[in-house]
């Protein structure tokens, strides 16, 4: 507590001690991380591999995981996305053990870069394209040329530039001579599962998907099988990523996926089995023929919510001290280049988040100028870990914290600070004993807003952290993933309600802190000291 001009200024209110000491917040976050990392049973756990898998193959892998655990004693986590997106993540240093691609071109790209273990590539299965519609629909397609009819538009397809399904579809439609006529009337999905979702939800009357995907959704029907001679062969290839820290187990799993043992599940899923190695294990596999979600919903929901809260706390902790320093500097100092600093600080608020995420990915990947020395010296990965998610959230939320705190500091009566300075207080002491004690509700409001923004961050996070269930999948990423699963609608609604509840809670908290700030500023204005003349007050 400081006494200035006869008025007491309380620095640390009893009910706000946590916010008054930034070091306490940082220590609490570190303790949470240590506890989360150290929790669990002490018994040895089976190796768990990270499999980056084409979205159209993810459901099949999820179904055969029990058999893998039974035969090899291995578990694995499936990271499902388009093959191109996953390949780019591997190039930038994602901690992946096995890559399963629906596009052999991407395998060749990684192989040329020396990122795949020599001799580990295995052709697993083939697939084919089909035209689908919903059960009961009157759409009838006897040949591809029928798709030019307006009743079949918008046609659901994959993005040709980045999604293998889209590339094969475009080739087939070009071969049929109709791409130019339907290309401007299509709904392009970011992966094969999204295309399936467009048709299942009725957004598109018909779509072109993989045969294996069409079979797993009960309310869809196949109305045309596309001639395979009109496009490149569709085959799924698996390979071990050279940077895997579990090479032996990864090779065992790839060999198992290319064996007759796995072929039973492939055939039941509508995939065309390619050449096989001699089976070393029993030929029966027990699995559920019903549609299976790629990830267990309950585990995904809990881990996504927990990771979102944890990374948001970490983001605020990272922002806090530099945010206080920069907010004070902008509010109280005039210096050359101040406008440039303001622009840099506010830039993440106005540029698209994906741009911020891409810049962070370039800087903090294991090949980046910042991420490379961190990885070499500390063996610490930033990109494609929850640290990357926290970093992205911190950068995106930082302008909100600075802007709110700057306004709060500018609202503090400068005469109070000048009085403290005249008594010999240093600039640091004035900041910690006068400015921040008065503006603490503004600081708290800024932290709450930064926390809320971190909880809702998507664009930057998905680029630098990926969308790995249980590792980097935050609440917004989980909502995005389940919204693209035809069987994940109930989970999507539940996650959306959780997100709305969290947002309402933090906004109410921010509103309360704002009202506290207004009351605090009103009660701490420089007092009018009555002048006395001949023992009497002038005011009298």
List, for residues 419-433, the tens digit of each pLDDT value: 888 888 888 888 888
Ranges of each domain in the chain:
48-122+236-273, 129-230, 303-523
Q: How far is it, in rounded angstroms, from Cα 313 to Cα 502?
A: 14
Q: Which residue has the higher pLDDT, 9 or 264?
A: 264
What is the rounded average pLDDT of the residues 137-148? 82
pLDDT recorded at residue 375: 85
pLDDT digit string (tens) for 259-301? 888 888 888 878 888 754 433 333 334 433 333 333 445 566 7
Provide the CA 409 distance to its chain's centre, in angstroms.
Answer: 34
CA distance 157 to 170: 9
| Encoded tokens for 182 | 């339907």
pLDDT of residue 38: 45
Burial pattern 458-473, b for ≥16 Cβ within 10 A else e, equals: bbbbbbbbbbbbbbbb
CA 395 from centre of chain? 14
pLDDT at 293: 37
Compute φ and ψ for 470, nearest 5 degrees.
80, -10
Please name which of 18, 22, 19 lies closest in space to residue 317, comparing C-alpha atoms.
Answer: 22
Task: Sheet with 220-225: list strands edge to edge.
Answer: 186-189, 155-158, 206-210, 129-134, 220-225
Q: Which residues of 233-268 are buried (b: 16+ CB within 10 A; e: fewer)?
A: ebbbbbbbbbbbebeebbbbbbbbbbbebbbbbbeb
Q: Tell me if 223 sits within 8 A of 132, measured CB to CB.
A: yes
Identify the pLDDT of residue 298: 59
pLDDT digits (tens, 9 = 90+) for 328-343: 999 988 889 899 999 9
The more confidently predicted of residues 162 and 97 is 97
Residue 526, C-beta contacts closer than 8 angstroms, at least 6 positions apart: 5, 413, 415, 416, 419
Distance CA 188, CA 156 (A): 6
Cα-based angle 456, 460, 464 (whole degrees, multiple of 5): 125
CA atoms of 256 and 505, how far apart (whole Å)? 48
H or E element that contains 340? helix 338-350
Percent of the chain with pLDDT over 70: 80
The closest of 157, 135, 159 to 144, measured between CA atoms, is: 157
Q: What CATH topology corresponds to 129-230?
A: D-Maltodextrin-Binding Protein; domain 2 (3.40.190)
Give the model's confidence band at 356: pLDDT under 50 very low, under 70 low, under 90 confident, else very high.
Answer: very high
Helix (H) / strand (E) containing 173: helix 164-175
Give me the DSSP letters along 368-392.
Answer: STTHHHHHHHH----TTSHHHHHHH
Does the domain at 303-523 match CATH 1.10.3720.10? Answer given as yes
CA pair distance 11, 440, nearest whole angstrom: 8
pLDDT of residue 279: 34
**pLDDT value, residue 434:** 85
Check: CB of residue 433 under 8 Å from CB of residue 420: yes
Q: What is the pLDDT of residue 484?
A: 54
Question: Taking residues 104-116, what's their average pLDDT?
Answer: 89
Is the pLDDT score of 62 beyond 70? yes
Q: pTM for the full model? A: 0.62
Do the domains at 48-122+236-273 and 129-230 have one common CATH topology? yes
Asked if residue 241 has pLDDT above 90, the reply is yes
Say how far apart CA 43 and CA 150 lie, in whole Å. 61
pLDDT at 299: 61
What number is the average pLDDT over the span 156-174? 85
Q: Does domain 48-122+236-273 have CATH number 3.40.190.10?
A: yes
- How far apart CA 207 and CA 197 sit, in angstroms, is 10
First to last CA, the chain: 32
What is the pLDDT confidence band of residue 45, given thresholds at 50, 70 and 90?
Answer: low
What is the overall mean pLDDT for the chain?
78
Do 285 and 264 touch, CB atoms closer than 8 A? Answer: yes
The pLDDT value given to residue 412: 84
Mean pLDDT computed over 360-374: 87
**Cα→Cα distances 351→76, 326, 384, Å:** 37, 20, 22
Q: 7 CB contacts (<8 Å, ≥6 apart)?
A: 524, 527
Q: What's the pLDDT score for residue 319?
A: 92
Position 487 scores a pLDDT of 56
Highest-confidence range of 20-34, 64-78, 235-249, 283-297, by mean pLDDT? Answer: 235-249
- Confidence category of residue 448, pLDDT binned at 50, 70, 90: confident
Tens-place pLDDT, residues 498-531: 888 888 887 787 777 767 666 665 565 444 444 4
Question: How large is the average pLDDT for residues 187-192?
Answer: 76
Closest residue by Cα to residue 76 from 473, 469, 464: 469
How many Cα atoms sit within 13 Å of 72 on the Cβ side? 24
CB count within 10 Å of CB 51 equals 25
């Amino acid at each position: 507590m400081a006494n200035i001009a006869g008025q007491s200024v309380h620095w640390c209110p009893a009910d706000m001690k946590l916010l008054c000491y930034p070091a306490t917040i940082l220590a609490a976050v570190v303790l949470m991380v240590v506890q989360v990392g150290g929790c669990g049973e002490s018994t040895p756990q089976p190796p768990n591999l990270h499999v980056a898998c084409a979205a159209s193959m993810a459901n099949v892998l999820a179904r055969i995981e029990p058999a893998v655990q039974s035969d090899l004693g291995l578990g694995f986590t499936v990271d499902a996305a388009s093959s191109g997106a996953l390949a780019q993540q591997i190039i930038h240093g994602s901690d992946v053990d096995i890559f399963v691609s629906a596009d052999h071109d991407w395998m060749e790209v990684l192989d040329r870069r020396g990122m795949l273990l020599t001799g580990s590539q295995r052709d697993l299965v083939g697939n084919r394209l089909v035209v689908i519609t919903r059960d009961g629909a009157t759409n009838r397609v006897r040949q591809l040329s029928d798709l030019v009819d307006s009743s079949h538009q918008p046609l659901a397809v994959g993005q040709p530039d980045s999604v293998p399904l889209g590339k094969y579809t475009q080739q087939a439609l070009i071969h049929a001579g109709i791409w130019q006529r339907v290309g401007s009337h299509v709904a392009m999905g970011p992966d094969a599962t999204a295309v399936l979702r467009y048709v299942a939800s009725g957004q598109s009357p018909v779509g072109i998907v993989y045969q294996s995907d069409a079979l797993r959704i009960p309310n869809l029907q196949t109305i045309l099988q596309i001639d395979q001679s009109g496009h490149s062969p569709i085959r799924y290839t698996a390979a071990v990523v050279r940077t895997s820290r579990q090479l032996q187990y990864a090779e065992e799993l790839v060999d198992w996926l290319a064996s007759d043992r796995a072929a039973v599940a492939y055939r039941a899923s509508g995939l065309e089995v390619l050449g096989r190695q001699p089976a070393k294990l029993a030929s029966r596999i027990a699995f559920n023929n019903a549609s299976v979600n790629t990830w267990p919903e309950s585990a995904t929901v809990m881990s996504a919510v927990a990771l979102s809260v944890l990374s948001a706390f970490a983001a605020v902790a990272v922002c806090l001290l530099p945010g206080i320093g920069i907010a004070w500097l902008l509010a109280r100092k005039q210096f050359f280049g101040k406008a440039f600093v303001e622009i840099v600080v506010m830039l993440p608020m106005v540029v698209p988040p994906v741009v911020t995420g891409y810049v962070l990915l370039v800087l903090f990947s294991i090949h980046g100028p910042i991420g490379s020395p961190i990885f070499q010296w500390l063996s610490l990965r930033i990109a494609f870990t929850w640290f990357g998610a926290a970093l992205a959230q911190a950068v995106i939320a930082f302008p909100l914290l600075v802007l709110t705190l700057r306004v709060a500091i500018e609202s503090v009566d400068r005469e109070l600070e000048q009085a403290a300075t005249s008594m010999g207080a240093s600039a640091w002491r004035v900041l910690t004993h006068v400015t921040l004690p008065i503006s603490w509700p503004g600081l708290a409001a800024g932290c709450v807003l930064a926390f809320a923004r971190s909880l809702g961050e998507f664009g930057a996070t998905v680029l630098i952290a990926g969308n790995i269930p249980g590792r980097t999948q935050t609440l917004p990423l989980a909502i995005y993933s389940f919204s693209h699963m035809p069987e994940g609608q109930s989970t999507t609604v539940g996650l959306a309600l959780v997100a709305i509840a969290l947002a309402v809670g933090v906004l109410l908290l921010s509103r309360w802190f704002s009202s506290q700030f207004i009351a605090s500023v009103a009660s701490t204005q420089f007092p009018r000291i009555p002048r006395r003349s001949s023992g009497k007050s002038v005011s009298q």
